[in-house]
Structure 1
Amino acid sequence: MFKNKIIWITGASSGLGRYMAYEFAKQGAKLALSARRKDQLDEVLAIVRSLGGEGLVVPCDVLVEKEIEDAVHAIIKHYGRIDVTIANAGFGVVGKIKNLSKEEWRRQLDVNVIGLALTFKYAYPHLQESKGSIVLIGSVANYLPNPGVGAYGASKAAVHSIGQTLQIELKGTGVNCTVIHPGFVDSDIARVDNQGVLHPDNKDPRPANLMWPTDKAAKVMVRAIAKKKKVYVFTGHGRILAFIGQHFPAIARWLVGKMS
């Protein structure tokens, strides 16, 4: 399905971005790998090549619009086109809404919402040429109240809204938009502080018994991208929580309150 396809992944240095790169590599894709940490991207690239894929490291901080624009130019210069763009870069600000500073809100929304939107903006002309796909990575948090991580939940609700809007705005262009909302998946997101700094030894507070391994999650995400799903929600627990949040909000508030 993805043999020789040009796939650009932001947030590719760790977590879901890294493991999606591995899955695409197994299918013979040509990858453009973006994130802030070049040393980590180089590690991912080495594994991508060992799995049969090709790759290009394109360091990029989605907080900086010029870096997004330059990343797209570098990919086009190297490969000549982009078939799939996966706007995966993101992190989660922790704290009750009453305690969050303006700077914490700004960073949360700048990375998870504005960075994602600008990733699409600069990739779009090339996706239109290739009749390709934009993939937005949201979260089951979009459907639920999020005590202690309300800024993160708000950012993912915005991602969902952007995706729903694009699915209308892109009609007739040949460009597909897929929005993926993962449930609990093992990743570094809970180990990054409110300033975006990774702390590898931090314990993940999410329930371990509900957590999917990252490689398993990446496999189902790649399948959803291949099928050009409009909205894809996983894990099993994530789907249940999303359903409750959409159809029984009072129960969702009670349930999340008990879990918090």
Structure 2
Amino acid sequence: MTNVQENVVWITGASSGIGKAMAFEWARLGYKVVLSSRRKELLDKVADEIRLSGGEALVIPCDIMEETAIETAVQQIIETWGRMDVVVANAGFGVFGSVEKLTAKDWNRQLQGNVIGLALTIKYALPYLKKNNGRIGLVGSVAAYLPNPNIGAYGASKAAVHSIGLTMQVELMGTGVSCTTLHPGFVASEIARIDNDGVWHPEQPDPRPSNLIWPTDKAAKVMVKAVLKRKRNYVFTGHGKVVVWLQNWFPGIVRFIISKGPKPDS
């Protein structure tokens, strides 16, 4: 790749959580950062922080539920900065409820955002990544490997992300572009505070064990490093690695542990 200061990284879901933290990390490394999500006012604050620290940031609001919005965002990036070197498909959310109770609307929304939106982000970025031996980061989840009571739609969507990553690693052979699928365990985020209709509830408690939740800046550093090293699949947080190993070799133990965990509303 060329001089890092000329390189452009595009991050979806960059207004909060892991996406926001990754934006700061890429900027710290000298990359020009394109920030996308639905919430422009939050993106503007992230961009201001990056600029105050001496970095370059471009805000392009984009709803990954809309194909035309994704295509337009890519066109705006190329029109403004003329290139794309890294794309991190991070935008996503969780739909909650048991499989017995989830509606077709719930399933469609979950898969449209976490799977189709992610795939189309890659589709429209790929022609420009191929010009620069670029890098792709797909944000999955440890949930891709596990049983997921009451978040079955979310787990299914992340299993699909894992499959897309495996597929891209074959389809991209010979192009110079790499695809890294990132599977975090518990990382601080707003996901538990957003309902099935996409409405944010700041007062909603996070049911995940607080002692296992990684801060976003710590997660961002290892995720960016994995993408830069062109790793294929990267499972992280210590507990994430342990539980995936257990699922591979002792799935009955994992089922027992998860069955005894906190029961979110179904």
When the two structures are superposed, what TM-score results if normalisation uses the length of structure 1? 0.98
Q: Distance in 2 between matches of 1:3 and 1:139?
A: 30
Structure 2 counterpart SS, 1:97: coil
- Equivalent of 2:96 in 89, 94, 103: 94
Q: Indicate the larger mover: 18-27 or 191-200.
A: 191-200
Unaligned stretches of 5+ residues in structure 1: none
Report if aligned partners of 1:24, 1:53 keep a CA contact under 8 Å in 2.
no
Q: 2:40 corresponds to which residue?
A: 38
Whether 1:219 and 2:214 are equivalent positions in the alignment is no
- TM alignment of 1:108-127, pairs within 5 A: 108-127=110-129
Contact 1:94–1:194, Cα closer than 8 Å, also in 2: yes
- For residues 65 and 51 of structure 1, what CA distance do their matches in structure 2 show? 33
TM-score, L = length of structure 2 = 0.95
Deviates more, 1:67-76 or 1:219-228: 219-228
The structure 1 segments of at least 4 consecutive aligned residues displaced by more than 4 Å after TM superposition are none
Alpha-carbon displacement from aligned partner over 1:102-153 (angstroms, at most 9, x marks no partner): 1010000000000000000000100111110111000000111000101000
Q: CA deviation at 1:244?
A: 1.2
Measured against aligned partners, the alpha-carbon deviations of 1:193-240 in whole angstroms (never above 9, x if no partner) come to: 111122222111111011111111111111111111111111000100
Q: CA deviation at 1:259?
A: 1.7
Matches within 5 A, 1:1-260: 2-260=4-262
What fraction of aligned residue pairs are identical, expressed as a percent? 58
Shift of 1:2: 4.3
Distance across 1 between alignment mates of 2:233 and 2:5 = 24
Q: 1:27–1:53: 8 Å Cα contact kept in structure 2?
A: no
* Equivalent residues of 1:2, 1:24 under 8 A apart: no
> Once superposed, what is the RMSD of the aligned Cα atoms?
1.1
Query: 8 Å contact 1:22–1:48 — kept in the other structure?
Result: yes
CA distance in 1, matches of 2:255, 2:147: 6
Amino acid at match of 1:27: L
* C-alpha displacement of 1:247: 2.4
Measured in 2, the distance between the counterparts of 1:52 and 1:141 equals 37
Q: Which amino acid aligns with 1:95?
A: G
